[in-house]
Amino acid sequence: MSLDLQPVYTMIDLGLWDDICRQRLDDTILDDRALDSVTLMLFGQSFATGRDMIGKMFSSYDFYVGRVKERLNRFEKSEPDKSVKAALAKAKEGFW
């Protein structure tokens, strides 16, 4: 099974991604493992997702980046995989 965000992008383009969807995604990334996974899909390797799209996916751009910053601040205690750390750093810096 392949996991990607294409269905989310399609729902946003069709106007079907609503406040309930955004809230559920917000709730999901409260778990660090989910945040890591979503961030890898948004910013892993050569991926870069625009600020506008992030703002449409989550309740706000600031909410998502706030979670990214919280996660990065805790790395001194538990170091994640290098690819996760790179994707989170890329998300924090806003390469778009």
Residue 79 counted as domain residue: yes
Structural domain harbouring 32: 26-93
The answer to whether 40 touches 88, Cβ cutoff 8 Å, is no
- Residue tagged 């996760």 (tokens): 84
Name residues whose C-beta falls within 8 Å of residue 74's C-beta, 6 or more positions apart in sequence: 32
Judged against a pLDDT cut of 80, whether residue 5 lies above it is answered with yes
Residue 13 counted as domain residue: no
Q: pLDDT by residue (tens digit) across 59-79? A: 999 999 999 999 988 776 666
Residue 2 counted as domain residue: no
Residue 5 counted as domain residue: no
In the chain, how many domains are there? 1
Pick from 4-8, 36-40, 61-65: least confident: 4-8
Average pLDDT, the chain: 89
Share of the chain above pLDDT 70, in %: 90
Judged against a pLDDT cut of 60, whether residue 33 lies above it is answered with yes
